[in-house]
């Protein structure tokens, strides 16, 4: 496989922390899980430091930054507090996501268009310390264009609606959502943005997404951590890696 075809796998370890926090102890340790994922072939580790610290905590970010060999992608909301934390730890990449306290997980993409001025100013100091800025967006082309205009280097396209359609076996919705992702990826690429994707991906739903050649990185969390209960984390990551590679090669 030529290197430009390579599809990176970022493993999101948030839900190891969810299990840890359920008992208020230090087990299972998300940093240990990140090391295992790294050994199993993850190209990066993603962690979402939420405002309410429901899973990943501040100390996890510090320890991940100290420990990891692969790049750390810090997911966060565009708040002043998070900007200070990111400036302190200088992760390789930052993915800005919208955050609502009541949501179970990140439900929608960021409204980049509606906050173009403020986002542009917000990301500048982060980029000045060397962080790559990714904006988590839906497939609305207006948002993709706005991401390019504010100067982000990357967009991560929300695959949640596609994965839900897959899960529910809704053929029309599956092809509609897939078309939207393909179109958004193409437009983002034409604007010079690197294209990532993620949310809700499973062994089944990853196949079509991995076969979109423009997409360079997938971020996958909940399914892999759930699957680890049955097979172990290493096996789950390796199986996802293999599924992605096969789909990428048209197998």
Site string for ligand PXP, 159-188 (x = CB under 6 A): ------------------------------
Question: Which residues does the annotation mark as catalytic?
Answer: 48, 75, 199
DSSP symbol at 92: S
Is 97 a binder of ligand PXP (CB under 6 A)?
Answer: yes
- Report d(CA 151, CA 90) in Å as an integer: 18
Is 95 a binder of ligand PXP (CB under 6 A)?
Answer: yes
Q: In the range 50-89, which residues lie near ligand PXP by CB under 6 A?
A: 75
Is 201 a binder of ligand PXP (CB under 6 A)?
Answer: yes
Taking the complex as a whole, the smallest distance from the CB of residue 18 to ligand PXP amounts, in Å, to 10
For 149, left (φ over 0), alpha (ψ -120 to 50), or beta?
alpha
Site string for ligand PXP, 7-26 (x = CB under 6 A): -----x-x------------
Is 105 a binder of ligand PXP (CB under 6 A)?
Answer: yes
Contact range with ligand PXP by CB under 6 A, out of 54-62, 184-192, 206-214, 221-229:
221-229
Closer of 75 and 208 to ligand PXP (Cβ): 75
Helices and strands (DSSP H and E) totals, the chain: 11, 8
DSSP string, 27-48: -S-HHHHHHHHHHHT-SEEEEE
Tokens of residue 2, six digits: 């030529």
CA terminus-to-terminus distance, the chain: 13
DSSP symbol at 131: P
Contact 81, 89 (CB under 8 A): no
Is 152 a binder of ligand PXP (CB under 6 A)?
Answer: no
CA 59 vs CA 12, 53, 82, 137, 184: distances in Å: 16, 11, 14, 28, 36
Is 129 a binder of ligand PXP (CB under 6 A)?
Answer: no
Is 222 a binder of ligand PXP (CB under 6 A)?
Answer: yes
Return the SS3 of 234: helix
Taking the complex as a whole, the smallest distance from the CB of residue 197 to ligand PXP amounts, in Å, to 8
Taking the complex as a whole, the smallest distance from the CB of residue 227 to ligand PXP amounts, in Å, to 11
**Interface contacts to ligand PXP, rule CB under 6 A:** 12, 14, 48, 75, 95, 97, 105-106, 136, 156, 198-201, 219-223
């Amino acid at each position: 496989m030529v290197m430009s075809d390579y599809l990176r796998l970022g493993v999101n370890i948030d839900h190891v922390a969810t299990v840890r926090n359920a008992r208020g102890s230090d087990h299972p340790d998300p940093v240990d899980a990140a090391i295992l994922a790294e050994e199993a072939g993850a190209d990066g580790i993603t962690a979402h430091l939420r405002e309410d610290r429901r899973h990943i905590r501040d100390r996890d970010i510090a320890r991940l930054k100290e420990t990891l060999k692969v790049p750390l992608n810090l997911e966060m909301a565009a708040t002043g507090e998070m900007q200070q934390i990111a400036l302190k730890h200088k992760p390789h990449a930052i993915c800005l996501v919208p955050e609502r306290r009541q949501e179970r997980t990140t439900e929608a993409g960021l409204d980049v268009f509606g906050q173009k001025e403020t986002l542009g100013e917000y990301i500048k100091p982060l980029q000045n310390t060397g962080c790559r800025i990714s904006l988590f967006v839906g497939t609305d082309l207006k948002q993709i264009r706005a991401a390019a205009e504010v100067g982000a280097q990357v967009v991560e396209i929300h695959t949640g609606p596609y994965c839900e359609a897959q899960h529910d076996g809704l053929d029309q919705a599956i092809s509609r959502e897939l078309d939207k992702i393909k179109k958004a990826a193409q437009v983002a690429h034409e604007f010079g943005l690197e294209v990532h994707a993620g949310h809700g991906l499973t062994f089944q739903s990853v196949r079509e997404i991995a076969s979109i050649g423009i997409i360079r990185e997938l971020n996958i969390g909940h399914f892999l951590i759930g699957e680890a209960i049955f097979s172990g984390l290493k096996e789950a990551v390796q199986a996802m890696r293999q599924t992605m590679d096969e789909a990428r090669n048209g197998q």
